[in-house]
Copies of this chain bind each other. A is one copy, B any other.
Amino acid sequence: MLDIKITKTTAPKKLPDKDDPLTFGTIFTDHMFMMDYKEGIGWYDARIIPYQPISLEPSAMVFHYGQEMFEGLKAYKAKDGRILLFRPDMNAKRTNRSCRRLCIPEIPEEDFIQAIKELVKIDSAWVPTREGTSLYIRPFIIATDPFLGVRPSKTYKFIIILSPVGAYYPEGINPVKIWIEDDYVRAVKGGIGEAKAGGNYVASLKAQIKAHDEGYSQVLWLDGVHRKYVEEVGSMNIFFKIDGVVVTPELSGSILPGVTRDSVITLCKSWGYKVEERLISIDEIYEAYQKGKLEEVFGTGTAAVISPVGQLRWKDHIMRIGDGNTGPLSRKLYDSLTGIQLGKLKDIFNWTVVVE
């Protein structure tokens, strides 16, 4: 149990208007959580302080060697006024998996969740209520040793910031167009692809720009070894409904183990769908498309929840999925997930955690 010292702001910012649809990740709340780490001491000095700049030495290792990790989850305001977190234990566990791969000291799961709860409670007025909005929670860890040389840092900062957000993609729940990339690679087995590490995201930018230039919203990555197995989309996992079966790439070591991915698998199974986690080649997808069996494609992620895919472009082949509208399974998943997240539907899997 952390002993969190609280210093409240004396200059609260203006809350966004209730009817503001909000953008993503541009405004931040009044407070932030911060905790330091030092080799030999461990994590110490847990505190909630006014949202403020971070001051670091120019030699701080995070600026040079990319030793940094982040998480993302959301808080929702239910109709009855309760504030609900969605599966924060999954983020706590994934934080520590990322930390182990990136040689960052782990954080006890209960401390991670406690810090989030206390911060959200203090800034609870910032949880928006308009449909499609939520309070995005961004925990992250950065290496702070003032040292040039390649080794793990001996000091770190764990920080949590909060941002009231609307839709991550301008398309919202409407279908997006996806570019299948066969030149650039995001990650490879044995690398850091399954960690939520900054390095994976910067690696994705070049192909993202290429896709945008071609009129596509997002990139679907193929594996770095054979350049044929589907991995993930931009900042989401990917699902295909082929001939009635729900198929998603298995967690092979270079794919992010998404919380929404896990939730979608659970929901689909509970509805009686056959769900397969396995290798999926892009040729298989194209063949299913040609045979008229590629019924739905959608991305899953905390930021976008469910993002239906309306079009896939692979080399010169354009695959138009369904009739151009959001498919029935995508819609049902979106409604069920957001229904549980908002406390409108029964939480049969005990996924939500109340901030009290």
CA distance A187 to B198 in the complex (A): 15
B209 touches A59 (CB 8 A): no
Given A64-B70, A149-B168, does the pair A202, B197 have CB atoms closer than 8 Å? yes
Given A53-B55, A185-B190, A191-B185, does the pair A63, B224 have CB atoms closer than 8 Å? no
Q: B residues within 8 A CB of A199?
A: 66, 192, 197-200, 202-203
Which residues of A248-269 have CB atoms within 8 Å of chain B's CB atoms? Answer: none
Q: B residues within 8 A CB of A202?
A: 65-68, 102-103, 192, 197, 199
- Min CB–CB distance A33 → chain B (angstroms): 10
Q: B residues within 8 A CB of A197?
A: 66, 199, 202-203
CA distance A186 to B192 in the complex (A): 9
The residue in A28, A187, A192, A234 that gathers the most chain B C-beta atoms within 10 A of its C-beta is A192
B148 touches A136 (CB 8 A): yes
Q: B residues within 8 A CB of A28?
A: 58-59, 146
Residues 194-213 of A, flagged 1 when their CB comes within 8 A of B and 0 if not, give 00011111111110110000
Residue of B nearest to A227 (CB): B190
Q: B residues within 8 A CB of A55?
A: 53-55
- Min CB–CB distance A157 → chain B (angstroms): 9
Q: Which of B103, B138, B201 makes the CB contact (< 8 A) with A150?
A: B201
Q: B residues within 8 A CB of A148?
A: 24-26, 72, 136, 138, 163
- Min CB–CB distance A170 → chain B (angstroms): 11
User: Within the oligomer, what is the number of copies of this chain?
Assistant: 2
- Min CB–CB distance A153 → chain B (angstroms): 10
A152 at the interface (CB under 8 A from B): yes
CA distance A303 to B197 in the complex (A): 26
A183 at the interface (CB under 8 A from B): yes
CA distance A188 to B191 in the complex (A): 9
| 25 interchain pairs, CB-CB under 8 A | A25-B148, A26-B147, A28-B59, A51-B58, A53-B58, A54-B56, A54-B57, A54-B63, A56-B56, A59-B138, A62-B63, A63-B68, A63-B140, A64-B140, A66-B200, A67-B202, A67-B205, A102-B205, A102-B206, A149-B168, A189-B224, A191-B203, A197-B202, A198-B198, A198-B199
A residues bordering B, Cβ < 8 Å?
Answer: 24-26, 28, 32, 51-60, 62-68, 70, 72, 101-103, 136, 138, 140, 142, 146-152, 159, 161, 163, 168, 183-192, 197-206, 208-209, 224-225, 227, 234-235, 303
Q: Which 9 A-B pairs have the closest CB atoms?
A: A199-B199, A66-B198, A25-B148, A185-B190, A65-B201, A188-B188, A66-B202, A103-B205, A188-B224
- Besides A54-B55, A185-B191, 8 new A-B residue pairs in contact (Cβ under 8 A), listed by A number: A58-B159, A150-B205, A185-B189, A186-B191, A187-B188, A189-B224, A192-B199, A192-B203
